[in-house]
Amino acid sequence: MRMGGWICIFLCLFSLYSCGGKQKDESRLLLLGSWRFSQMNMHTILTLRNNGTWQSDDRVEGRHTRIVEKRGKSTGRWQMESGNRLIFSVETADEAGMWPAGSMQSFDIVSLDARTLVLQQESGRTWEWSKIRAQRPTEGEVVAHQAVRMPPLIVNVARSRILERQRFLCLDLEFILTLDEFIPNPEMIPPPPPLHPEVRETILFYLSSLEYREINSFDRVKALRLHLRQMLNPYFDNRLHEIEVRNIIVASSKDSLEEFILQYPELRHEFGLTPPQRPQSPAEKAEEEG
């Protein structure tokens, strides 16, 4: 075979490798964050972190569709293989956890986008996960509330002792407002009102006064939300129905802090971080230098 033919084959294979690596990186970035799987009144919250660890929490839905109680927790490590397969190793698990401790769980990624993750086990069972975010009402549904977003924030947690480890409370909040009247169609929802300029400052001032022991459990975070709602309600003309915690991390290391930042383009720009990149191959380095 002539040299030109070998060069063409090499370039084709290299192109396929580059596209595959880019696709895998993009899929991995989409996976980061928290996902919800719901069955009856049980909800499993699965959080995939950038450092390769994961955590799941099983929660029970109470009155008014609010998650009110934890039932199980599991932790472990995760990795993506070949761009379309997820492997979970389960290191710890409560009795009510999603998977038993010490097990290895494998799934094929059937579909993945910014809102939905569909996984399938070898047994054929399908798990459909939804990214934790405000759910848009469906056509024909009567709407009584509207959501108002606020940019994510990072707050230094107060330290009770001088030598205590520095921690950061990372939050992505959404404010659920009661509409003046029921709306028969989602398309008729009025645009959300602008955030009062003092809302963010009030939240930062309050959260920066809290110590780790005041935010280290589900019940304490729930109490925090209720207190924030009482403080902020006047800024929303007393229409603040609920504060939705879309994402929360108490970061005690550089990795966990960056894990939160990388989920939000505005924070990535502010902190000068970029998503993890695939290492360059020798051929790519040579091409760039040439």
Q: Are residues 83 and 172 in the same domain?
A: no
Q: Where are the beta strands (DSSP E) in 139-210?
A: 143-149, 153-156, 168-183
Considering its fold, how many domains does the chain have in total?
2
pTM: 0.48
Q: Answer yes or no: is 237 within a domain.
A: yes
pLDDT band at 144 (very low <50, low <70, confident <90, very high): low
228 vs 113: which has the higher pLDDT: 228
Regarding whether 182 and 126 lie in a shared domain, the answer is: no
What is the Cα–Cα distance from 232 to 197, expressed in whole angstroms? 12
Q: Would residue 250 count as lying in a domain?
A: yes
In a domain, 36, yes or no: yes
What CATH number did the domain enclosing 90 receive?
2.40.128.280
Residue type, position 34, single letter: S
Q: Is 288 contained in some domain?
A: no
Task: State whether 174 and 204 are in the same domain.
Answer: yes
Query: Is 138 within the bounds of a domain?
Result: no
Look at residue 66 and tell me whether its pLDDT is greater than 70: no
Instruction: Name the average pLDDT for the chain.
Output: 77
179 pLDDT more than 50: yes
Is 237 found in the same domain as 155?
A: yes
Q: Count Cβ atoms within 10 A of the Cβ of residue 111 and give its class: 0-12 exposed, 13-18 middle, 19 or more buried.
A: exposed
Flag whether pLDDT at 13 surpasses 60: no
Helix (H) or strand (E) holding 34: strand 33-39
Percent with pLDDT over 90 in the chain: 18
Mean pLDDT value across residues 104-112: 90
Which residue, of 78, 104, 131, is where some domain finishes?
A: 131
Q: What is the mean pLDDT of residues 209-219?
A: 84
Domain termination residue (choose one: 110, 131, 152)? 131
Res 135 pLDDT > 80: no
**What is the average pLDDT across 157-169?**
85
pLDDT(4) > 50: no
Whether 157 and 266 share a structural domain: yes
Most confident of 136-140, 151-155, 189-193, 256-260: 151-155
Domain boundary pick from 96, 131, 166: 131
Judge contact between 86 and 99, C-beta under 8 A.
no
Same domain (yes/no): 173, 104: no
CATH number of the domain at 208, please.
3.30.479
Would you state the pLDDT for residue 68?
A: 46
Secondary structure class of 258 (helix, strand, coil) = helix
Examine the pLDDT at 139 and tell me if it is beyond 50: no
Residue 246 lies in a domain: yes
Same domain, 169 and 74: no
In the predicted structure, residue 259 carries a pLDDT above the cut 60:
yes
Asked whether residue 276 is domain-assigned, the answer is no
Banded pLDDT at 276 (limits 50, 70, 90) = low
pLDDT value for 183:
62
For residues 80 and 208, give the distance between their C-alpha atoms in angstroms, rounded to a whole number: 37
What domain range includes position 110?
A: 29-131
- Number of separate helices (H) and strands (E) present in the chain: 6, 12
